[in-house]
A = this chain, B = another copy of it.
Amino acid sequence: MKFNIALLAGDGIGPEVINEAVKVSDAIAKKFNHEITWTPALTGACAIDAVGVPYPDETHEVCMKADAVLFGAIGHPKYDNDPSAPVRPEQGLLLMRKKLGLFANVRPTFTFPSLIDNSPLKRERIEGTDLVFLRELTGGIYFGEKGRKDNGDTAFDNCVYTRAEVQRLAKKGFELAMTRNKKLCCVDKANVLETSRLWRETVQAMEKDYPEVTVSYEFVDAVAMRLVQWPNSYDVLITENLFGDILTDEASVISGSMGLMPSASVGEHTSLYEPIHGSYPQATGLNIANPLATILSAAMMFEDAFGLKAEADAIRAVVNKSLEQGVVTEDLAPKGSKAYKTSEVGDWLVANL
């Protein structure tokens, strides 16, 4: 098969981890007789520096034409302490999600046996954890009307959802649950919010179409607790944009493998794959960042965007092997043992595929 992949390396360590994901993807393509064309494009702080906006039209065109998008990370410290600067990298992210129609953010949380003791949680609490959040990504309070009144002394953000938006996200949730343990948890705050009541009634009305799926409804505050207490009690969770932002990040630390967690954002026009970690500016250019989350995101791309499960499994298998054999970057290397460089990890994976 032939693929055209948009390559958005972004800022900070983005280019370094993307580089390794490209190496591994190319090696997999070669092994399985596929042909990948990579088309790089600018986004984030580097795009602001180059052309003045964080998600240029040319980048959008590249993404629209591609079969999938592989994304690194964006963000630069010069924007950190000024969230009201007129142009910021995050705006590019939000614009990209909206323009590409990436309405569902898929965030798995699972454990790696060899890393389980890195978790802040006790082993017995997290063993067997294998859950997936579907976070709605193009609606809610992120995209509602926002602004100021009263000479700037009153601020507002409007949270809006339509039934159709909830349905398309929930449909993905039900379908995903059918391929897994058939448990779906709808996370809302229906005891307070009208948008949550719309979510709940919409999901309730869809239950009859998926009689095999066991659906539960939990309040966001209760889920914030239970994620820490019993993460392995969940299977698929669906939720709105802001709750998803908070809960997926919370979930990512429980496995002890945050630096390894991949994600996908799927939607109307294309799909995008990215590590959940940020641009880690302090490590930029040092060749020390862990590339595995990006490489595992590429594996998700092979499986979900191209339907190539064997290719995805081959990537996951060699990643597991590298972890078992201690071929890891400094964030995972036990004290006193050798830490590999970012590029060395990539090279080792390619050599061992």
Contacts and interface: CB of A to CB of B under 8 A. Distances in A.
Contact of A195 (B156, B200, B221): B156
A284 to B, nearest CB: 19
Nearest to A145: B158
B192 A142 contact: yes
B153 A160 contact: no
Given A83-B191, A220-B246, A160 B164 contact: no
A196 interface: yes
A36 to B, nearest CB: 33
B153 A162 contact: yes
Contacts of A189: 242, 245
B190 A162 contact: no
Nearest to A90: B191
A147 B163 CA distance: 14
Nearest to A192: B142
Q: Which of A148, A225, A227, A243 has the most CB of B within 10 A?
A: A225
Interface of A: 81, 83-84, 88, 90, 94, 120-122, 125, 141-142, 144, 146-148, 150, 152-164, 189-198, 200-201, 217, 220-222, 224-225, 227-229, 242-243, 245-247, 249-250, 252-254, 258
